[in-house]
Amino acid sequence: MKSYLAAAIQMTSLPDLEKNLVQAEELIDLAVRRGAELISLPENFSFMGEEEDKIAQAEAIGLQSEKFLKTMALRFQVTILGGGFPVPTESGKVYNTCLLVDPNGKELARYKKVHLFDVNVPDGITYRESNTVKAGEDWPQVYVSPELGTLGLSVCYDVRFPEMYRYLSQKGADVLFVPAAFTAYTGKDHWKVLLQARAIENTCYAIAPAQTGRHYGRRQTHGHAMIVDPWGVVLADAGEEPGVAIAEINPDRLEQVRRQMPSLQHRVFL
């Protein structure tokens, strides 16, 4: 593993596939020009609209999202994580799918979101992700990269389930991806502290691309795409506007924190 720059992209995705992909390409280009070698896009990067519209367009969204990720990775010669897009299932629902692609446009890892956001948020909005999304049934994957480290995949609401990240750290993860479309209401209180907790307790970097602003109807997201180091220090925060959070992933820092705070070696209940 070497030192390198990683980017967590922040978008305001809309119910318009083509516009979203144009926005994503512009931000990927910006990240590459700033030196990023590992680039991550948020959950719902290619489409964020009403659930019935997502289902109606799911096949096209899924195919174009995957093609886009592979094309961008190959064009810019970087590794890219697409943080979440719908892939149709035989049941009529979709998998909320996270895809990691290498600079040759080759798929490295795929994760289907396990924890679905069925929540009555205190601001009066109810979310029922399970109405249109089928939960994945497999533990998330890690991908071992000699240059970028061991990368662990997750999506958004997963961040509230620490056992999932403990599993990834047991598999050797150095970097935890948490692409998200966190609600504005819950994000202001929970987003940063949850990311810091997952990074600290697993002594890993956390890379969290995010959605921000108003997308459709009353749907509004928190923003603050960020990169957190293994000590819990926020290295980069994209704020509330579309943009890019970029920070160094440093193996020496990782080793230093794990040496100073060897908590993973002190676990009693495995």
Q: Please give the pLDDT value at position 36.
A: 98
pLDDT of residue 123: 82
Mean predicted confidence (pLDDT) in 8-18: 98
CATH code of the domain in which 65 resides: 3.60.110.10
The sign of the dihedral angle between the CA atoms of 192, 194, 200, 205 is negative
State the Cα–Cα distance between residues 166 and 192, nearest whole angstrom.
Answer: 18
Looking at residue 270, what is its pLDDT? 76
* Alpha carbons 260 and 267: distance in angstroms, whole number: 15
Residue 200 has pLDDT above 80, yes or no: yes
Strands 94-101 and 79-88: antiparallel
pLDDT band at 124 (very low <50, low <70, confident <90, very high): confident
Residue that has been written with the tokens 């446009």 in this structure:
105
> What's the pLDDT tens digit per position in 39-56?
999 999 999 999 999 999
- pLDDT average, residue stretch 246-264: 97
> What percent of the chain shows pLDDT beyond 90?
96
Q: At what angle do helices 162-170 and 184-202 cross, to 10 degrees?
A: 30
Say whether pLDDT at 92 is over 80: yes
Report the domain count for the chain.
1
pTM of the model: 0.97
Give the span between the Cα atoms of 178 and 91, in whole angstroms.
27
pLDDT of residue 78: 98
Domain region containing 130: 4-266
Assign 217 a pLDDT band (cuts: 50, 70, 90).
confident
Q: What residues act catalytically?
A: 43, 113, 156
Place of tokens 């603050």: 224
Question: Which residue would you say has higher pLDDT here, 261 or 124?
Answer: 261
- Specify the DSSP element, H or E, that contains 83: strand 79-88
Band the pLDDT of 141: cuts 50, 70, 90.
confident
Using the predicted structure, report yes or no on whether residue 218 has a pLDDT greater than 90: no
Percent of the chain whose predicted confidence (pLDDT) is above 70: 100
